[in-house]
Structure 1
């Protein structure tokens, strides 16, 4: 068995009493004090996450914009310098290679932030589709640490460590070379929780110092370190997809209800033909929200069964929602069953439990626009 990779904050997690688990080959904390306490801290105050396992790829060159326009589903050409874009890379059949963020520094220089478990696959895909574009691709994932500070008090806490006016960084914008506690950082107003907050990219040697200073700066505001468990419950309540659950090689962005990030009017991109066809023919299945009527926790992969006994889909994510105090989930089901209040059943081990389709808008996102 290969040794788990460690982030530059590994010792910090041990010092905080983090319960470390294997996540995509990395040793990362699933929780510290507890998932619910960490979740509530982010919803009401501020939480700190180590997301250094994420991947980063630089795209440079005179054809950088054209290359990315072909590679991803969203429209890179509309970006201003220092703006961030959420998008997908798709296979020719329309399934998803990965979801990612595109940071535009200039028309000839971009940073792509990709999922930890997909780094090697994604980078190979990017290189395989380089064609004749004049671009240079650099996988710099192992050179960068990343800290996410999230919650309604995130700006207040981070502002104590920098002279940069953070209120001037808009939602899905970034700024380079910001001094945070003496460290040079890239800061973006982004995150994966449904709350306002920032993601801080920095050198490994500065990560522990910045983490400790953020924890000290946020003591009065009730800052807590937060693990992968809270990261998942937070993103789920905000209906943010997780690769391998709501989106995958076998689930297209349109089936996932994320067509907003697919610009079918673009000249061309990998997967466009398949997605145009899927839209024209009508979706045969969709991601829906549901709430349990019977008692039980739906888990990823559990079958969804219609009242007539037919298997019509499966659960992608399910939880007892810490914020809503209800047992809810997301599932991909046959399109005939996507109407609100449609009765469905979830196969939980050897029991068939009643549930009903509800809106996917579980939680009102609180971003600073």
Structure 2
């Protein structure tokens, strides 16, 4: 089982519950538990070890053209210090992975990929694929996951915490932009204003040997402001509450990005890219399915894989479900047939019993607005509670 460079920092902590995830030994939660960590990120800040995420560098004269072909979204402009959320799609439009592209140079591009997808992504981008079969050259491709580390500092206090240990002006760093070659607690780092929690925050990329010192420095700087270490459990509840997709649940080889509600990250106006023809056909004809949000009416908790029906007809499956602590509901995301995606109410098969759920717009939580209270989102039928 793989361990990140930060494993020795937190494995001995009181209350640290370690689990195996995608081949890595990682914390599920610490002493306070998942709910306390979730609330810390929404109200102050949380520090996550996300070094299990894959980090792949592409360099050389063909790097920009190749990543532009790989990714559904347009690339950040050279010199913009920009990052882009994007997707890697197979020729049939199915998602190989969702990624973040960072462009530190004209022909230098960094991909952050999901841990569970890393081997598949590397196999795809190193070929064979339509690019290589056409005889076009590949750039230099290097998997740097094992010799680097990635920390995520998330929450409304994250800027103040990081600024106290940083030699750069972070206040002016825009969302989905990065600063390379700066020092945080004296440690060289690339810092991006990105995250997976629905809050303001930063991700820090450093050499693996430097990660423990950076972890300790950030926790020390943030303790007076309520910073706590956080595990996988809170990361999942935070992203779910914010309506963010998880690869393997809302995305996969059998789910295209238009079905998943990610059409804004598919630039059909740009040049050729893998899966473009298939996605053009989906855009023209309409996606067969749609990702929707649900709020439990009956006292029950929907979980991944539960069937969804309209009347007596099964029309889809739950992709993610659980409690939304900030909003105070039990919610779910589901992938359902397009012709059944606008119903006001559905039923979910939970342990052999059909439980009612009402349609609710995604995301359940949006930073700066608090819980969703628009008329369409508030059900007069009540809120599900844990049974």
Q: TM over 0.5, yes or no?
A: yes
Q: Please name the residue that 2:187 is paired with.
A: 183
Q: Is the 8 A contact 1:95 1:248 kept in 2?
A: yes
Q: Is the 8 A contact 1:312 1:334 kept in 2?
A: yes
How big is the shift at 1:79? 5.5
Aligned length: 362
How big is the shift at 1:236? 0.8
Q: Please name the residue that 1:60 is paired with.
A: 59
Q: Indicate yes or no: 2:39 matched with 1:31.
A: no
Contiguous gaps of at least 5 residues in structure 2 = 370-387
TM-score, structure 2 length as denominator? Answer: 0.91
Query: Distance in 1 between the 2:187 and 2:34 partners?
Result: 30
Please list, as runs of the form range in 1=range in 2, the aligned pairs for 1:26-175 lying within 5 A after superposition. 26-32=24-30, 33-76=32-75, 78=77, 80-128=79-127, 129=129, 131=132, 132-175=136-179
Matching residue within 343, 362, 365 for 1:363: 365
Matching residue within 195, 208, 213 for 1:209: 213
Query: Distance in 2 between the 1:338 and 1:360 partners?
Result: 13
How big is the shift at 1:16? 2.5
Q: Please name the residue that 1:334 is paired with.
A: 337
Q: Is the 8 A contact 1:154 1:198 kept in 2?
A: yes
Greater shift, 277-286 or 192-201, is seen at 277-286
Q: Please name the residue that 1:22 is paired with.
A: 20
CA RMSD of aligned residues (A): 1.3
SS at match of 1:75: coil
Query: Distance in 2 between the 1:98 and 1:259 partners?
Result: 15
Output one character per residue of 1:289-345: Cα deviation in whole Å (capped at 9) or x when no partner.
Answer: 0011111110011111111x2111000000111111101110000112222x52111
Query: Distance in 1 between the 2:81 and 2:188 partners?
Result: 16
SS at match of 1:40: helix
Query: Distance in 1 between the 2:250 and 2:84 partners?
Result: 19
Q: Is the 8 A contact 1:5 1:25 kept in 2?
A: yes
How big is the shift at 1:80? 4.2
Q: Indicate yes or no: 2:243 matched with 1:250.
A: no
SS at match of 2:225: coil
Output one character per residue of 1:29-80: Cα deviation in whole Å (capped at 9) or x when no partner.
Answer: 1111211100000001010000000111111111211111111100116464
Query: Distance in 2 between the 1:283 and 1:362 partners?
Result: 23
Q: Please name the residue that 1:12 is paired with.
A: 9
Query: Distance in 1 between the 2:96 and 2:192 partners?
Result: 24
How big is the shift at 1:191? 0.4
